[in-house]
Amino acid sequence: MLLHIPDILSRDEVARFRRALDGADWTDGRETVGSQGAKVKRNLQLPDASPLREELGRAVLAALARNPLFHAAALPQRTLMPRFNRYEGGGQYGFHVDGAVMALPDGEQLRSDVSCTLFLADPEEYDGGELIVNDTYGEHEVKLPAGDIIVYPSSSLHRVAPVTRGARIAAFFWVQSLVRDEQQRRLLLELDASIQTLTRSGADAQALLQLTGVYHNLLRQWAQT
């Protein structure tokens, strides 16, 4: 399931991020991938130890916590601190699948269930740079306004097309979900969306109560804590 969630960051927040990132010291993005990824990855990245990464990453996490649609879609249990990358001058990232398990700063491990890219440059600022996700329905090209996020299964084969003009700047991170199975997460999201729509329409209160109970009982059955 690919899900576009708009306005994770406001325009003012995006502008603040860009002022900070435009003056940042970037490093070779291949430093954070294994040997296979290094063969197809050509971009720049904020160093993991950068104080700016910590500052902006925490701001992204705070923005996500305010967004009910992101929570409903990802059902986050643990989230890796966001990283930040920059593609320019032909930079690209060939087809790859994200690593299944990632290390957290406290030494714990995070299973990557959900991959997220938060765009920080508007589409007209650069040519190319589409996120291309390959699934059973074919290839999907994603290029969103600054401040918007795309959420998709970490098991997906995906790439970033070469950037031939300007710079593509984004935050990216992974979520370990309370619900490991992607189809179960999709069903829960659809059920949650139906409950919200029926609530706004003034539907029968008893029926809504029953549907809400179904949602929570399914979540209780499927959640891994």
Q: What is the pLDDT of residues 138-160, one digit of tens each?
A: 899 999 999 999 999 999 999 99
Average pLDDT score over residue span 27-38:
74
| For residue 136, pLDDT beyond 70 | yes
Residue 128's pLDDT is 98
For 124, phi then psi, to 5°, come to: -75, -10
Residues of each domain in the chain carrying CATH 4.10.860.20: 182-222
Residue 1's pLDDT is 87
Q: What is the tens place of the pLDDT at every residue in 112-128?
A: 999 999 999 999 999 99
Counting beta carbons within 10 angstroms of the beta carbon of residue 145, is it exposed (0 to 12), middle (13 to 18) or buried (19 or more)? middle
More confident residue, 184 or 41: 184
Residue 37's pLDDT is 65
The architecture of the domain spanning 182-222 is Irregular (4.10)
Task: Give the CATH number of domain 3-177.
Answer: 2.60.120.620
**How is residue 49 written in tokens?**
């130890």
Average pLDDT score over residue span 11-35:
89
How far is it, in rounded angstroms, from Cα 95 to Cα 97? 7
Residue 190's pLDDT is 98
Place of tokens 């927040």: 13
Its pTM stands at 0.94
Residues of each domain in the chain carrying CATH 2.60.120.620: 3-177
Angle (deg, nearest 10), helices 51-65 and 11-22: 170
